Structure 1
Amino acid sequence: MKICILTTFFVVIIISVISHSRSERICKRPITKHLRHAVLSSTVSKRSYTETGLRFEVVYSQNVISWSRFHSFKMSVMDAATGFWEKSLSVKEPSGKNSLIKRNCLYDVGYVNAENDAVHCNRCLKEVTCGNYSIPAKYLTGCYEIHYGSEDVRIYEKGEGIQPNKFLLFVDRMSDEMCQDSTAAYTIVCELHEETERPIAAYINFCPQYLDEKEEFDEETVVTAVHELGHALGFSSELFPYFRDEYGNPRTKRHPKTIDRYFHTWAVLQVVDTLILPTVLHEARIHYNCPHLDGVDLENEGGEGTSGTHFEKRLVGNEVMSGSTSRSLRVSRLTLAFFKDTGWYDVDLNATKNWEYGKNLGCDFVMKSCYEYMERNRYGKSLKPYCNEIGVRRCTDIKTNGICYIVKHRNILPREFQYLTRDATYGEDPRYYSGKPGLYDYCPLYTEVDNFLGNPITASCEDEENNQRMTTG
């Protein structure tokens, strides 16, 4: 199986603003350039590891522990998020041996001695970090300094390591350069299992400004944590080359170039990364009702850390592993199918919430641009989930109030994002108008709102008071 680039050609469509939409935060994450492999302990653990269910070992930084809201955050957010993944995933064939994170040598000069689970260096370095966190010694290998002509000297003893079915997670709350542009949180993958190459350790930093703006931790906070844990467990572009098939064999060649190039002719050249994985493809074909779907697109906007490491927002909408977070995110069978296809987990595909975005909209929706889809459906058919009438209200798939959201730009848009006609923009030049900026390729959508013509409303479109306010303005 390959992770492929589809070179596609398309023309898109756009909309304009009349109300305040609920904020969506773009997910950006640093890409780990050099992933480390842990060392399997030479001794079998004294415990019997018949259990394969995924379990998190969560280590909180002092920044989190000293925070006045720590206990509420731990119970309401982290316990809920880790609990979801523990219920959904089991580790496939854990080895029975603990994993030890390698200590560092000065100038990287040294070697691993498999007999004593230690690194032998010219000089041992004390600190090993995961993100901004210094990893405790209990998870590290031993370290000996080489003395030529005599016995090497032990500087650090080996620790207990990470148990076979566990995932070591460091959680921080620090304002740093990544916590810019309304970033809620980010994840760094730190360590891979020596044999299976499953990620076994990661760092998640929740940006203080994101957490502090919340009077209480709501559903959005929980799904943000679920999303970040998804990156830690495998939904990260740097991990794609390490996936295994159902027999445990690598899906891709052990070479940096693991991408093939495909061409789909639309209208304007656009390069798109596409996942071609068996279970993902099966679930996507069923969900979209598109039997000949050839792959599931990854995000093509947002820059490094967003592009290529999430599902394409235009196609999955409020799916949890899309490139932006909001309280309406849903974990779908598509995401759980992805984790099955990593080869690292046995997965409960039914541990999901109802996900309606794009359901049964067919191949035109999932394989064409939103412009082409709307053109084919413009006469007598629903444009769902898109729209072409400024300000029209509709109840969305998740039963929230949505407004047809169109923005006027200062400059003429690139041709590939010119979707609207003069009818849709009330006679104004449509080349200046588009859908909501962000990750939807500027397609015109019904966007969830909390304010209509100055009137505050709640989310539910089944609330009669909301309906009256939105009708009367």
Structure 2
Amino acid sequence: MEFASVLLIFKKMSLLLITLYFFLLKERLVECLVAQNYASDSENLKPNIRRRSEFIVGEKFRVRVVLSEDLKNHLQYDLLKRQVKDALIFWTKAIQPKRISTQQILIERNCNERVRSQMRPQYHYCEGGCNKVSICNGFEIPEKYLQKCRSSEKDVVKKVQVKKSDKSDFILFIRSGDYGPHTSLATADTCQLDLDTNRPIAGSITILSAMKYIDYNPGELKRVIIHELGHTFGFDYRLFPYLRHDDGSPRTRRNQHTGEPELPTNANEGLKADRNTIKYVSRTWHTVSGEKTYKRVALTLPSVVNFARNHFRCNELDAVDLESDGGDGNKHSHFERRLSIGEAMSATCDIMASVSGLTLSYFKDTGWYNVDISMAKPWDWGRGQGCEFIFKSCGEFIKSNRTSSPWCDKIINTESIIHCIPHVNAYGICNLIKHSLPLKPEHIHFDSLPKIRPSQLSRFGGTDTYADHCPYLSVSTVLYSCTF
């Protein structure tokens, strides 16, 4: 058989496998999930090995890591610890707290009846007593990291100031959780805020299906941890009302008695943070079903907006859209996926995601950190595409431009062409597929496609739900691995 014939067969087989890959994964790819052939983590435990479950990473920003017992006894403990350390080394170099607390970090205990103190309104007590176990994001907090139980007003008045006993500025609890074929990669939550600055001082990460990366691609586990650390350090919709100006003053007005954010319901259309932080924006899209206007939540933080204006080349931009899809764990706590593909704080895991100047600009605007912007990694998605790229639907953008890039309009099949992806160093294929059910009207971007009947067009869109089913080149082969 001639070499050319062999090469052609190889190419067709490769394309067939890639096509099958996208068809099988569809929604699971969007949510960054793993295949169904998973095993219990108990198979990876190796008991009776003496290992440290706590260690500190960082110099100017010192993070104490506390691992759960199951992770401490994991067969791949050393490799796991390396990924956690590497992820923290990046963050602790990129951001450092402006103000260091002199008090020991202790977590408020869980209870059923939490009552705000009248004498010291910054504090609470547990009427009826504290729970025996205090949990943050599934992690059972060790006793030594918990505040003394306050069960009455008297306990609050007697509160003892505990001087710092170690050199940590943040405590990070990490555990692994049970997972199945439809489980997220990981989850994160803030466990405690500093009383004076509101900066997160303790957080918890639960590693779910991302644990499988430890066996065949530990670098991807590090990337997931980097993303989750971003949440624990403050990229969280629930924390937006607590952000501060550069001088330390609150961005959102506070209750003079409790110090808590307190914005009148009608002040910012029901949002809990001030308009100098977030606001609603209207985006008018031309879709197959006609012109529609959508209301979305967007960041108005100055450094974030300035970075986005320069990156996309759009001086009209006055707010950067936050994710509009997903549940409480995704909606508004990530940058809008359609505009942030390849960015670490997007809602979907990307093979080559990076912490760009967009994310670091957010942390600068929190008022909690000094930020080394030189730590930002290259990020080219949407660069220089102009205001049309931001304000128009991807279908309208494709129609109005000579080229569909960075979007694409080629349906996945065995004849699909593997492309060099312009915004990353990788090869990929257009993720436009036929879905099992019609898409939402605002996610139908094509009024015609080659060889597709008009009645079927409502079922064609990209695999990525968070990107509004806009089709783009998905990475299938990395040319070289990137590092943080």
- The TM-score range, normalised by the shorter chain, is 0.7 to 0.9
Q: Does 1:169 align with 2:172?
A: yes
Match of 2:451 in 1: 426
CA shift in 2, pair 1:376/1:157, >3 Å: same
- Ranges in structure 2 where 5+ consecutive residues have no aligned partner: 1-17, 34-57, 254-260, 272-278, 286-290
Question: Does residue 1:135 correspond to 2:141, yes or no?
Answer: yes
After TM superposition, give the deviation of residue 140 of structure 1 in Å.
Answer: 2.9
Question: What does 1:182-193 align with in structure 2 at a 5 Å threshold?
Answer: 182-193=183-194
Q: Which AA in structure 2 matches 1:368?
A: K
Q: Which residue of 1 is the match for residue 325 of structure 2?
A: 301
1:443 aligns with 2:434: no
The yes-or-no answer on 1:459 pairing with 2:478 is yes
Aligned to 1:46: none
| Residues 55, 86 of structure 1: 8 Å contact kept | yes
Shift of residue 297, structure 1, vs aligned partner: 0.7
- 1:262 CA drift (Å): 3.8
**Aligned match of 1:383:** 404
In the aligned structure 2, how far is the partner of 1:255 from the partner of 1:415? 37
The one-letter code of the counterpart of 1:395 is C
Paired residues, number: 403
The alignment partner of 2:467 has SS state of: coil
TM-score normalised to the size of structure 1? Answer: 0.76
Residues 160-206 of structure 1: CA deviation (Å, up to 9, x unaligned): 66868611110001216xx6623111012111100111111111111
Residue identity matched to 2:444: Q
C-alpha separation in 2, matches of 1:265 and 1:235: 27
Cα distance change of structure 1 residues 112 and 252 upon mapping to structure 2, 3 Å threshold: closer
* 1:82 and 2:88 correspond: yes
Q: Name the residue aligned to 1:227.
A: 227
Which residue in the other structure is 1:100 paired with? 106
Q: Does 1:26 align with 2:26?
A: no
User: 1:124: how far off?
Assistant: 5.2
Work out whether residues 324 and 336 of structure 2, in 8 Å CA contact, stay in contact via their aligned partners in 1: yes
Task: Structure 1: give runs of 5+ residues left out of the alignment.
Answer: 1-16, 29-50, 450-457, 463-473
Is the alpha carbon distance of 1:281 and 1:110 closer, same or farther for their aligned partners in structure 2, counting shifts above 3 Å?
closer
Aligned positions of 1:232-381 closer than 5 A: 232-253=232-253, 254-255=261-262, 257=265, 259=271, 260-266=279-285, 267-377=291-401, 381=402
8 Å CA contact 2:107, 2:191 repeated in 1: no
Give, in angstroms, the shift of residue 368 of structure 1.
1.8
Instruction: Give the alignment's Cα RMSD to 1 decimal.
Output: 3.4
Report the Cα distance in structure 1 between the residues aligned to 2:319 and 2:250, rounded to whole angstroms: 19
CA distance in 1, matches of 2:186, 2:224: 8
Q: Is the 8 A contact 2:282 2:293 kept in 1?
A: no
Q: Secondary structure at the match of 1:142?
A: coil
State, as a whole percentage, how many aligned pairs show the same letter.
31
Deviation at 1:24, TM superposition (A): 4.0
Q: CA distance change for structure 1 residues 288 and 197 in 2, over 3 Å: closer, same or farther?
A: same
After superposition, what is the alpha-carbon deviation per residue over 1:3-24, rounded to whole angstroms, capped at 9, x for unaligned?
A: xxxxxxxxxxxxxx94535974
In structure 2, the CA distance between the partners of 1:103 and 1:436, relative to structure 1 (3 Å rule), is closer
CA spacing shift, 1:135–1:407, aligned 2, 3 Å? same
Give, as a single letter, the amino acid of the residue that structure 2 aligns with 1:255: E
Is the 1:317–1:357 contact (alpha carbons within 8 Å) kept by the matching residues of 2?
Answer: yes
- On the 8 A contact 1:299/1:310 being kept in 2, the answer is yes
Change (3 A) 1:108 1:87: same
Query: How many angstroms apart in 1 are the aligned matches of 2:124 and 2:461?
Result: 59
Corresponding residue for residue 68 of structure 2: 61
Structure 1 or 2: larger strand share?
Answer: 1
Any conservation in 2 of the 1:182–1:210 contact (CA below 8 Å)? no
Q: 1:56 to 1:386 in 2, by over 3 A?
A: same
Contact 1:289 1:363 in 2 (8 A): yes
The AA in structure 2 aligned to 1:352 is A
State whether residues 130 and 149 of structure 2, in contact with CA within 8 Å, keep that contact through their aligned partners in structure 1.
yes
What CA distance in whole angstroms lies between the structure 2 residues aligned with 1:74 and 1:277? 35
Matched, 1:71 2:78: yes
Inter-partner Cα distance in structure 1 for 2:104 and 2:174: 22
String of CA shifts for 1:421-468, please: whole Å, max 9, x gaps. Answer: 43x33243233322224211111211222xxxxxxxx43399xxxxxx
Contact 2:317-2:387 at 8 Å conserved across structures: yes
Q: Which letter does structure 1 place at the counterpart of 2:169?
A: K
Kept in 2: contact 1:101–1:139 (CA 8 A): yes
- Higher relative CO (CA 8 A, sep ≥ 6), structure 1 or 2? 1
2:108 is paired with a residue of what secondary structure? coil
Distance 1:181 1:55, change over 3 A: same
Find the aligned partners of 2:388 and 2:473 in 1 and give their Cα distance.
Answer: 19
Structure 2 distance, partners of 1:103, 1:272, is 36
Separation in 2 of the partners of 1:404 and 1:105?
51
3-state DSSP class of the match of 1:239?
A: helix
Q: 1:409 aligns with which of 411, 420, 435?
A: 435
Deviation at 1:322, TM superposition (A): 0.2
Q: Distance in 2 between matches of 1:64 and 1:288?
A: 42
